[in-house]
């Protein structure tokens, strides 16, 4: 039985997480990173998982025997949602540390600010908080069909709903209208909030909505969208992993369509 006093160490080397080489994706459990022979350059407590304190760690060490550094995109299809969320939080905090060692205003060195998730400039006192980039993600529906599209960066065969980053001066609803028009050439209306999810690629907060088709012909934007089409629950392509809000939105759409003929 695991010692509840031991911590889970989410150790990153660059953008890759230290996990066991074989078996299910797991991070090491130990009293300290030194027990794992990890030379730690940064650490931050990030919460609790399965009764263990979790730490985000930056290291430049080689992996211990039986372990390997892997990119999170390599395994996000097959991990528990709570684990993925904690690993994503660790990735964002380590990334924030890596890009905020010095103040962007005066160039002074920063140090952790006591009592909050922030770094303070030792020269001018400016506070630096982890960056979050809000992104709108939307499921567009037309009767019993939903719009799915494929981006060039997706794994082979995978389709998903549309998404895009909020620009300065925009509301999220305005972002949805603009992104859908830019990416596939159609209009939408009746925009409704669905839910949200932190997403660590690289530091997003995905804010999900559903919307209704309001006119136009599909015209995928070159370089951004490889293909787009309308699908029913009976002809869905390969979908995003269950850890994603995109999949939660698609699954909700499927439930709202009622049972398929095979289930009746």
Q: What gap in Å lies between CA 211 and CA 208, rounded to an integer? A: 10
SS3 240: coil
- Name the residue range of residue 176's domain: 133-257
Same domain, 39 and 83: yes
* Boundary residue ending a domain (99, 123, 147): 99
Same domain, 144 and 89: no
Q: Is residue 237 assigned to a domain?
A: yes
Give the largest Cα separation in the chain, rounded: 69
What burial class does residue 263 get, using C-beta atoms within 10 Å of its C-beta: 0-12 exposed, 13-18 middle, 19+ buried? exposed
pLDDT at 201: 86
pLDDT at 259: 58
- Cβ distance 154 to 182 under 8 Å? no
The pTM (predicted TM-score) of the whole model is 0.86
pLDDT digit string (tens) for 48-90? 999 999 999 999 999 999 999 999 988 877 788 899 999 999 9
Q: Is residue 139 assigned to a domain?
A: yes
Task: Provide the pLDDT confidence category of residue 183 given band limits of 50, 70 and 90.
Answer: very high
Output the CA–CA distances (angstroms, integers) from residue 263 to 164, 177, 260, in the order listed: 36, 36, 5
CB atoms within 10 A of CB 103: 20
Same domain, 65 and 144: no
Q: Is residue 119 assigned to a domain?
A: no
Give 123's contacts (C-beta < 8 A, 6+ positions apart).
Answer: 103, 106, 107, 108, 109
Q: Is residue 190 assigned to a domain?
A: yes
Q: Tell me how many domains the chain contains.
A: 2
- Cβ distance 136 to 164 under 8 Å? yes
* Boundary residue ending a domain (42, 77, 99): 99
| CATH code for the domain of 14 | 3.90.79.20
pLDDT of residue 264 exceeding 70: no
pLDDT at 80: 87
Q: Is residue 111 assigned to a domain?
A: no
What is the arithmetic mean of pLDDT over 219-238?
96
* Boundary residue ending a domain (78, 99, 120): 99
SS3 120: strand
pLDDT at 2: 61
| CATH code for the domain of 232 | 3.90.79.10
The distance from CA 9 to its chain's CA centroid, rounded to whole angstroms, is 19
Q: Is residue 38 assigned to a domain?
A: yes
* Mean confidence (pLDDT) of the chain: 93
Residue that is written with structure tokens 């209208």 in the block: 177
pLDDT at 260: 45
Q: Is residue 123 assigned to a domain?
A: no
Same domain, 137 and 253: yes
Tell me how long the chain is. 264
Q: Indicate the helix (H) or strand (E) that contains 199.
A: strand 187-199
pLDDT at 179: 98
- Cβ distance 101 to 53 under 8 Å? no
What is the arithmetic mean of pLDDT over 31-48?
93
- Cβ distance 253 to 148 under 8 Å? no
pLDDT of residue 263 exceeding 50: no
Same domain, 92 and 165: no
pLDDT of residue 251 exceeding 90: yes
Same domain, 184 and 84: no
Q: Indicate the helix (H) or strand (E) that contains 180.
A: helix 172-184
What is the arithmetic mean of pLDDT over 193-208?
94
């Amino acid at each position: 039985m695991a010692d509840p006093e031991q911590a889970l160490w989410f150790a990153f080397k660059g953008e890759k997480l230290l996990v066991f080489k074989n078996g299910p994706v797991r991070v090491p459990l130990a009293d300290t990173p030194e027990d794992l022979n990890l030379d730690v350059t940064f650490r931050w407590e990030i919460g609790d998982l399965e009764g263990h304190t979790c730490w985000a760690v930056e290291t430049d060490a080689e992996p211990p025997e039986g372990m390997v550094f892997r990119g999170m995109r390599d395994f996000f299809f097959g991990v528990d949602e709570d684990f993925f969320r904690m690993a994503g939080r660790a990735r964002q905090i380590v990334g924030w540390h890596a890009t905020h060692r010095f103040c962007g205003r005066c160039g002074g060195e920063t140090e952790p600010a006591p009592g909050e998730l922030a770094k303070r400039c030792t020269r001018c006192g400016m506070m630096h908080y982890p960056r979050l980039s809000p992104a709108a993600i939307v499921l567009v529906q037309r009767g019993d069909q939903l719009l799915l599209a494929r981006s060039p960066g997706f794994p082979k065969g995978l389709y998903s709903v549309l998404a895009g980053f909020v620009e300065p001066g925009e509301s999220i609803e305005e972002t949805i209208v603009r992104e859908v028009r830019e990416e596939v050439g159609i209009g939408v209306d009746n925009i409704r909030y669905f839910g949200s999810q932190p997403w660590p690629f690289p530091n997003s907060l995905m804010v999900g909505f559903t919307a209704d088709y309001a006119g136009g012909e599909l015209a995928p934007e070159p370089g951004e969208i490889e293909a787009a089409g309308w699908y029913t629950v009976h002809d869905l392509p390969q979908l995003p992993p269950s850890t994603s809000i995109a999949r939660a939105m698609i699954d909700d759409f499927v439930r709202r369509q009622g049972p398929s003929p095979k289930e009746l």
